[in-house]
Amino acid sequence: MTNNSDYHIPVMLEECLNALDIRRDGIYVDVTFGGGGHSSEIFKKLNQHGRLIVFDQDPDARKNAWEAPNFSFIAANFAYIANHLRLMGVDKVDGVLADLGVSSHQFDEQERGFSIRGEASLDMRMNQSGELTAADVINDYDENALLYMFRNYGEIPNARRLVNAIVSARLNGKIKTTQKLLDVVTPCAPKFKEHKYFAQVFQAVRIEVNNEMVVLEDFLKATESVLKPRGRLVVMSYHSLEDRMVKNYMKRGSIDGKLKKDFFGNVLKPFNEVTRKPIVASEGEIEMNSRARSAKLRIAERNGE
């Protein structure tokens, strides 16, 4: 069993464990295994009758898995959680954890193209077997598609100016590297806020490459069918788009925040919020791990008897 802190430092570890309300003989799923930080601590709390199932589509994450009769590693996107659990003969589980942040490992592996530091190919694929890369998005998307992406996924105020800069630059040759993209967008960045602006640009492209909003929606909807009554859904998000979706689903049972009702007008609400406001990292944790600064942890419990 591993906790590879070189791969990724688990954010709000104790808060996540407490949120899952772990039963020693329960079945739990960590859909974002990464370095195994959260998973290894969940596993320690289980007895031989308990079970831990983890998901990660990044091939590098498999290296952090361990062998045990009651541990399973699934090399797949967590949007397909229900299908894979069904194939394993698992009907319902007691808790599901999702840490939606990009791992430290993925940021630090410069050739993956996630980081604004250093020179790398424009890649940004979580799953290295995926076909769409960041270079494809930047060089092949038309103006309207780029505008939608930067406005909605990056929440960039001057998205039109940014798109014009990219479209103009690629007329002189393809934008193939992270540094070249930074060179193109730098004139659009607000003075003294360049770093935040670059992060928003890269975030938007990464979300598009990995179809993250659709994946998150599919995952949230799937948890309704895989969690036992009173089972816990624990999700940690790192930007407002994700957090809004998670909040809406936990509060009202829909991504757009609209209440669902049956034919007779009864409200259909699959979850109850355990905490109305998100849990955030302590100042001490943020000092040790700056990536915890933007994390928001939300907890919900499956309705039913």
Domain ranges of the chain: 13-104+212-302, 111-210
Give me the pLDDT at residue 97, please.
98
Give me the pLDDT at residue 9, please.
81
Mean pLDDT of 219-232: 96
Whether 13-104+212-302 and 111-210 share one fold: the answer is no
- Secondary structure class of 290 (helix, strand, coil): helix
Residue 117's contacts (CB-CB under 8 Å, 6 or more residues apart) are 110
Residue 73's H or E segment, with its range, is strand 71-74
Mean pLDDT of 269-273: 93
pLDDT digit string (tens) for 145-191?
999 999 999 999 999 999 999 999 999 999 999 999 999 999 999 99
- Return the structure tokens found at 222: 């799937």
Give me the pLDDT at residue 1, please.
61
- Return the structure tokens found at 141: 């998307």
For residue 261, what pLDDT band results from cuts at 50, 70 and 90?
Answer: confident
Which residue shows structure tokens 């409200």?
267
Q: Residues 120, 180: contact at Cβ < 8 Å?
A: no
Q: Residues 51, 70: contact at Cβ < 8 Å?
A: yes
32 vs 58: CA distance, rounded Å: 10
CATH number of the domain located at residue range(s) 13-104+212-302 in this protein: 3.40.50.150
pTM of the model: 0.89
Give me the pLDDT at residue 14, please.
96
User: For the chain, what is the radius of gyration of the CA atoms?
Assistant: 20
Q: Residues 297, 16: contact at Cβ < 8 Å?
A: yes
Q: Residues 158, 145: contact at Cβ < 8 Å?
A: no
Q: Which of 197, 171, 180, 271 is nearest to 229 (CA)?
A: 271
CATH of 111-210, one of 2.40.110.10, 3.40.50.1240, 1.10.150.170, 1.20.1440.130: 1.10.150.170
Give the distance, in angstroms, between the CA of residue 232 and the centroid of all CA atoms in the same chain: 18
